[in-house]
Structure 1
Amino acid sequence: MFGNYLIGLREGLEASLVVCILVAYLVKTDRREALRPVWLGIGIAVAVSLAFGAALEFGSQELTFEAQELLGGSLSIIAVGLVTWMIFWMRRTARHLKGELHGKLDAALRMGTGALVATALLAVGREGLETALFVWASVRAGGEGRSGPLIGVLLGIATALVLGWLFYRGALRINLARFFKWTGSMLVVVAAGVLAYGVHDLQEARFLGGLQDKAFDITSTIPPDSWYGTLLKGVFNFQPDPTVVQVSVWALYLIPTMLFFLAPQRGKATGRPAPAAPPKAGPEPAAKAP
């Protein structure tokens, strides 16, 4: 449940920030007539995301077991790739996201109503589709039933909406770069578990081998149906009897991804003044005649 709450919080906050920036810019520049197409684009994005999530959930139920596992494993890997890209993208663009959105909105205002709808649709729809796909994959990996993950996501989105409103009203100011760094670090851990479970799905679909080659088995120490086993699985997608391939993929993803994510970004200002350039040597004055 915590992992899904984190997904809903982070993705919801990104979408809320995008909406706040778009709406505040139109209000401050006295272009309120453009708010309607922007809200229309946001509404379409939400509807498309919900429809996508419903298609993933109900469309896969008609497939055979092997087909379900193959689809689930493939989409889990795609979801991890998208979330990893999103984490690094937000890490790189968090500081100048406002200016980037203002530029796109200015261009859309010059082009007309359709461009405004498309701008809001694409800006919010991307977050919605990523959320639907990653939550679906995380629910399959967590195996908490239907209500727990859904409640976690809804609580995360509700928290994000409240924070977005407070940002818009100017009542809340936090270091967004630091916030996205910490939540991104936790999402890398969650994504590693989803990736490992996706590989397990491909093994059960007989697309990959090694299903019987267990790396370890501590089921007797951490029973899956115990409260702490359920907690570990819900938060980290922990499995007490993973295969060798699962553990290998988990480590090969988690370690380098976390190192790259936490590494200092290049091109940051050091705060030290640049050294002054040495004065150019001019022509020496001519020697005076004695």
Structure 2
Amino acid sequence: MPPSTRERDDLEVRVPGTYGSKEKTTDERAEVAAFRGSLGLEHLIDVHTHFMPQSVLAKVWAYFDAAGPLVGRPWPIAYRQQEQQRLEVLRGFGVRAFTSMLYPHKPGMARWLNDWAAEFAARTPDCLHTATFFAEPSAAEDVTRALAQGARVFKCHLQVGAYDPNDPLLQDVWGLLAEAGVPVVTHCGSGPVPGPFTGPAPIAALLARHPRLPLVVAHLGMPEYEEFLDLAERYANVMLDTTMAFTSFAEATAPFPRPALPRLAHLGDRILLGTDFPNIPYSYADALHALEQTGLGTAWLRAVCHDNAARGFAL
């Protein structure tokens, strides 16, 4: 069962010196505001942020702290505050809408994660109601239930879940989501390390069967950037989010191929801002400046950081 509010608060950990701490918040808010101002944007929309039951988030943070096998190197959490503080940080950056990306790593988790997410969305109006699923017999029923609860976006993590998106247990899930037109933010690239079902081939097979599926490739498909750009160019409902892309942290091990930048520019109406907040090892402003350094221009940045998601989610 999800933890109570009291248990959730007891599990919270505050680390002095993180980017969201008081001593840094004012400067960073000003830096992000200046970025928005340079684009003529009052707000940002971030489609890849993580809010989840604190018992689960504590385990995620512990995994990052230990540089677990899916991480492979030190990964300090920049925004390790209590839930309300994290919400205040995002809102202080001018983020008008965000998600509560959460994901199961074993059967039996998805439904109670979705129930938590429904409750979180009900008390957090600026959160785009997020849900998830796992390759298990109840998957289609879980997704049907989440859609009835009002889910507007789903998260699918093929690396953590270690399941095949083409598993027959998910056949009805993809059909339901394609029919409903609800986007699925999918960690399907092989970064930071490959999983048994990561990479473009499983997603290519999935899209061949469900060509209308609104699939959002997380992290621009890192490190198989160009192969996922191929799929976006082939399927009109495939989008990509920018999570961690172009940051010095990501470029050190999975640099984006500069010759592919014109392709990213051409797909400018299907690229969405994502950051992985709060689980990033650098500041939120760093993530925004990394996009700025692509040189793709003000109109591209404005579409990515706000307009595309505003249109897609009717905000």
TM-score, normalised via structure 1 length:
0.23
**Structure whose residues are more often strand by fraction:** 2
Tell which structure's C-alpha radius of gyration is larger: 1
TM-score, normalised via structure 2 length:
0.22
Greater length-normalized contact order (CA 8 Å, ≥ 6 residues apart): 1
